[in-house]
């Protein structure tokens, strides 16, 4: 791979500095520090284009936020961020940024591709920074558990970036189920139209191409094994298809669409799961798939609960919903089957209850949506938790990424022991984690 000397990093210096920062900052609870030191929150963004732009523009619209660093591996990525927030210092390497900004930094936004969420978020929390991290929270099940543990240990305020969590539609749906509108729930079906390998649309490695000027490919790869750059297949956006970087259709949408299912039913860890698909390679995620998890019962279920996920054009049988003849299910969402009826929660739309005549007089809960990004900033300033912190988003992401393990072992039933952190199949247990490239490791908490 061609190496641009300007891309070479004085890694040891950053890491040594980060360790020193960590040993001093963790001495005092970070939430108290940030809230008491200043009314203004000093924030840095890692990954500033794509969803990163949405994240930083929404966080930056909070009056208390001052950006102190923008980090991106692509020089072209800074254009919109610079126009909206001029004069913010640029960085290419998040490790250098964390070490340089040090005590002048309170919080970070992590909007990189999935494979770099945990390395960045972990280092930030080890340095006592509050974190807003895109969904899926992590690339592996083990990383989700470790970020959860680190957030609790560091006492920082965290939020996963599945912003629809705070939308009115999802809040109303969660409240309807919690209030028993359709009775206790016996089964849930969730689905999305996209499939796991549709962006680059190939199963083998693409041909090598020159790294575009201004892109630091080595830092884009980060924790992942080195491979040559290829045009129009990885950076930007199309990395989703590849197991080394993305999380397929389930990882892309599971943390959105399964979030109100988790929230409404009080779910945490599944007992078992199984996936069905037409097979896959070690490189890319499968095409259309079904993943079925079995959860222990909760106060909101009739007993043990089955969740069936479908993607790539697969949908549950429309008859299950009890809709009027001729109506179809939305393109994406969840169908809750309850004792007294069904609820469809479109992604994203207001909940619909069936049979319609039974629910025509039901009052919709009087709930409003809010800015997911501002809620995080407000919680940081107030020194409190959010509703979508890593204690909640961690188990949700573990469930989603367990589904991706099952997807690589289709047709095989997997029992999951969340306490022992072990699957019944050794091949599945092996996939709970992955190897890290030197300099980008995620250390066990
Ligand atoms: N919440 C949502 O609705 C939503 C929507 C889209 C994407 N996402 C999530 O946001 C994340 C980014 O997705 P995207 O579609 O914007 O991807 P993208 O590839 O389009 O953009 C990623 C940005 O991060 C930069 N980047 C990549 N590696 C980096 C690194 N190591 N350090 C610093 N910057 C780096 C890229 O240059 C680019 O600016 C993913 O985790 C994705 O799942 C969430």
Tell me which DSSP letter residue 317 carries.
-
Domain extent for 68: 5-164+373-385
**Cβ neighbours of residue 8 closer than 8 Å, sequence gap 6 or more:** none
Tell me which DSSP letter residue 438 carries.
T
Tens-place pLDDT, residues 45-81: 999 999 999 999 999 999 999 999 999 999 999 999 9
Q: How far is CA 299 from CA 183, 302, 342, 396, in A?
A: 11, 8, 18, 18
Asked if 174 and 264 count as a contact pair (C-beta separation under 8 A), the reply is yes
144 in any annotated domain:
yes
Answer whether 77 contacts ligand 1 (Cβ < 6 A).
yes
119: Cα within 13 Å, side-chain hemisphere:
25
Whole-number percent of the chain with pLDDT over 90: 91
Predicted local confidence at residue 104, as pLDDT: 97
Predicted local confidence at residue 244, as pLDDT: 98
69 in any annotated domain:
yes
Strands 414-417 and 422-423: antiparallel
283 in any annotated domain:
no
Predicted local confidence at residue 400, as pLDDT: 99
Task: State in Å: Cα 441 to ligand 1 middle.
Answer: 20
Predicted local confidence at residue 38, as pLDDT: 60
DSSP string, 377-410: HHHHHHT---TTSHHHHHHHHHHHHHHHHHHTST
Asked if 171 and 369 count as a contact pair (C-beta separation under 8 A), the reply is yes
Task: State in Å: Cα 117 to ligand 1 middle.
Answer: 10
89 in any annotated domain:
yes
70 in any annotated domain:
yes
143 in any annotated domain:
yes
Nearest-CA neighbor of 1 among 204, 221, 200?
A: 221
pTM: 0.93
Distance CA 296, CA 70 (A): 43
Tens-place pLDDT, residues 355-380: 999 999 999 999 999 999 999 999 99
Give me the CATH number covering residue 129: 3.40.50.720
pLDDT under 70 in the chain at which residues? 1-38
297 in any annotated domain:
no
Answer whether 169 contacts ligand 1 (Cβ < 6 A).
no
Task: State in Å: Cα 113 to ligand 1 middle.
Answer: 4
Predicted local confidence at residue 201, as pLDDT: 85
Distance CA 169, CA 408 (A): 33
Task: State in Å: Cα 321 to ligand 1 middle.
Answer: 35
**Cβ neighbours of residue 112 closer than 8 Å, sequence gap 6 or more:** 46, 47, 52, 120, 134, 222
Q: Which of 56, 162, 236 to mutate to test the pocket of ligand 1 (most atoms within 8 A of CB)?
A: 236
360 in any annotated domain:
no
Count up the domains in the chain and report the number.
1
């Amino acid at each position: 791979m061609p190496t641009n000397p300007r891309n070479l990093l004085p890694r040891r210096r950053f890491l040594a500095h980060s360790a020193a920062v960590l040993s001093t900052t963790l001495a005092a609870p970070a939430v108290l520090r940030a809230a008491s030191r200043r009314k203004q929150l000093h924030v840095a963004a890692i990954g500033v284009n794509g969803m990163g732009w949405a994240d930083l523009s929404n966080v930056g619209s909070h009056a208390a936020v001052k950006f102190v660093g923008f980090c991106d591996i692509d020089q072209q990525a800074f254009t919109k961020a610079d126009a909206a927030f001029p004069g913010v210092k640029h960085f290419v390497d998040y490790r250098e940024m964390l070490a340089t900004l040090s005590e002048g930094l309170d919080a970070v936004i992590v909007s990189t591709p999935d494979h770099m969420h945990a390395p960045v978020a972990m280092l930030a929390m080890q340095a006592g920074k509050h974190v807003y991290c895109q969904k899926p929270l992590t690339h592996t099940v083990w990383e989700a558990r470790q970020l959860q543990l680190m957030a609790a240990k560091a006492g920082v305020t965290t939020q996963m970036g599945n912003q629809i969590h705070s939308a009115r539609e999802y809040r109303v749906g969660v409240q309807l189920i919690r209030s028993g509108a359709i009775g206790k729930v016996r089964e849930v079906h969730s689905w999305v139209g996209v499939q796991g390998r549709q962006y680059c649309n190939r199963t083998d490695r693409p041909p090598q191409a020159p790294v575009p000027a201004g892109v630091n490919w080595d830092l884009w790869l980060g924790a992942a094994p080195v491979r040559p750059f290829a045009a129009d297949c990885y950076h930007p956006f199309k990395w989703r298809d590849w197991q080394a970087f993305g999380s397929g259709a389930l990882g892309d949408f599971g943390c959105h669409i399964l979030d109100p299912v988790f929230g409404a039913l009080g779910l945490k860890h599944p007992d078992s799961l199984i996936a069905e698909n037409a097979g896959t390679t070690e490189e890319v995620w499968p095409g259309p798939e079904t993943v079925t998890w079995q959860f222990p019962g909760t106060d909101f279920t009739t007993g043990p609960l089955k969740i069936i996920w479908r993607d790539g054009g697969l949908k549950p049988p429309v008859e299950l919903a009890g809709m009027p003849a001729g109506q179809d299910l939305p393109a994406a969402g969840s169908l809750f089957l309850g004792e007294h009826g069904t609820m469809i929660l479109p992604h994203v739309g207001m909940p619909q209850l069936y049979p319609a005549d039974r629910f025509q007089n039901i009052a919709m809960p009087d709930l409003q949506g809010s800015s997911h990004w501002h809620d995080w900033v407000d919680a940081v300033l107030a020194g409190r938790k959010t509703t979508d912190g890593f204690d909640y988003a961690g188990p949700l992401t573990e469930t989603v990424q367990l589904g991706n393990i099952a997807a690589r072992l289709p047709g095989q039933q997997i029992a999951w022991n969340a306490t022992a952190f072990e699957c019944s199949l050794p091949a599945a247990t092996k996939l709970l984690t992955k190897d890290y490239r030197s300099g980008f490791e995620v250390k066990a908490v």
